[in-house]
Amino acid sequence: MAELLSQPFSWLNLIIMVSAGVVVLGVVLVFVMYAIYFERKVIGWMQLRNGPNRVGPWGLFQTVADVLKLMIKEDIVPAKADRFLFLIAPIIAYTPAFAIIAVIPFSENVFFADVNVGILYYGALSSISITGILLGGWASNNKYAIMGGMRSVAQMVSYEVPLIMSFLGVVLLTGSLNMKDIVAAQQDGMWFIIPQFLGFVIFLIAGNAELNRTPFDLPEAENELVAGYFVEYSGFRFAFFMLSEYVYIFALSSVMTVMFLGGWDAPFGLTFIPGGVWFALKFLLLVFYLFWARATFPRVKTQQLMGFAWKVLIPLALFNVMITALFKTISQAG
């Protein structure tokens, strides 16, 4: 990709770029399908069940069948809904989730946009999905949906702040917002999970809350709100809400791998294994963590949830930034 980026514009290059984007789209969609399968299997095993095992060998085609089923389901728009907003809300939720992936480097050769505002772009775009969720909840004109949407927004904006702040320690250590530079800095020194362990833990918790996943899945608490903000959605519009959640898992785990686990950097000098494989292993470990957390923790209460973000995570994140800056100043002076 490096040579493609440095070439002047030509139509052939544009076609190559678009096909690269289409390939990524395909990879992400396959990831989403098998992440859902993997999640159901893992949770099944943790609860001493089998998980999906009927469609295809070991149930491997279960999600494919689900997607096909969703495609041929009727797309119902409630009569009392705000029609236009109802129709575009899933797209507003999904589009930024996919657009983020452009700035994430996957190995020394596989990266797309090499910009010096990578992390800022991630933070800015990931906030837009919240709008889609709020619009979906409000436009449905359904009591469950608006409560789910409101809870979701309150939760996501609260955890957005510590999430974005937890990057700052890494930014201080590298002096760059470019994700490739961040990986390069970790290849020279150590992975940022060690000097930025507090930041990593904050990111892990806030990221889980940002994804609206158990134990922070109050917005879609099924036993009180039925399904939260997408109660009224059916068919493929519902699928796009689900898709955006899993594309976010992809994006968030990738960013976490890049920021704290050294990206494609090989540990213990095992460089004969290609960087892409290392990236995939670290990435899958984080994805597994999300599913593991879902199978393990009970759902928290609303008052615990919001209090935790503002009273614990944000002060801790600010403390982490200031301590990192202080250490940096001391080490430069000494």
Partner 1 sequence: MDQIYNNSYLFMAIFLLLGIFLPFATIWVIGPFLRPHNPTKEKISTYESGVEPTGDAMVQFNVRYYLFALLFVIFDVETVFLYPWAVAYDNLSSFALIEMVIFVFMLAVGLAYAWKKKVLTWD
Binding to partner 1 (CB under 8 A) within 22-61 occurs at 22, 24-25
How far is the C-alpha of 211 from the C-alpha of 39, rounded, in Å? 15
Query: Measuring CA to CA, how many Å separate 280 from each of 40, 178, 261, 264?
Result: 20, 20, 11, 8
Judged by CB under 8 A, the chain residues 230 through 249 that form the site for partner 1 are: 231-232, 235-237, 240
Please tell me whether residue 108 binds partner 1 under the rule CB under 8 A.
no
Per CB under 8 A, the list member of 48, 79, 223, 268 interacting with partner 1 is 79
Q: What is the DSSP string of 96-121?
A: HHHHGGGG---SSS--S---TTHHHH
Out of 110, 176, 185, 215, the only residue in the binding site for partner 1 (CB under 8 A) is: 176
- Judged by CB under 8 A, the residue of 32, 35, 36, 97 near partner 1 is 97
Q: How many CB atoms lie within 10 A of CB 228?
A: 27
The reply to whether 101 sits near partner 1 by the rule CB under 8 A is yes
CA distances from 120 to 42, 46, 97, 273, 317 (A): 34, 37, 14, 31, 17
Rounded CA-CA distance 200/212 in Å is 19
Q: Which stretch binds partner 1 (CB under 8 A): 41-49, 206-214, 259-267, 301-309?
A: 301-309
Q: What's the rounded Cα separation, in Å, for the pair 40 and 247?
A: 17
Q: Does 184 bind partner 1 (CB under 8 A)?
A: no
Q: How near is the Cβ of 82 to partner 1 at its closest, in Å? A: 8
Residue 185: which of 200, 199, 201, 169 has the closest Cα? 169
User: How many residues line the site for partner 1 (CB under 8 A)?
Assistant: 89
| Region near partner 1 per CB under 8 A, out of 110-118, 198-206, 258-266, 292-300 | 110-118
Asked if 193 is part of the footprint of partner 1 (rule: CB under 8 A), the reply reads no
Q: Which residues contact 244 (CB under 8 A, 6 or more apart)?
A: 90, 93, 94, 97, 129, 132
Q: Which is nearer to partner 1, 112 or 291 (CB)?
A: 112
Q: According to the binding rule CB under 8 A, does residue 138 interact with partner 1?
A: yes
CB of 245 to partner 1, least distance (A): 14
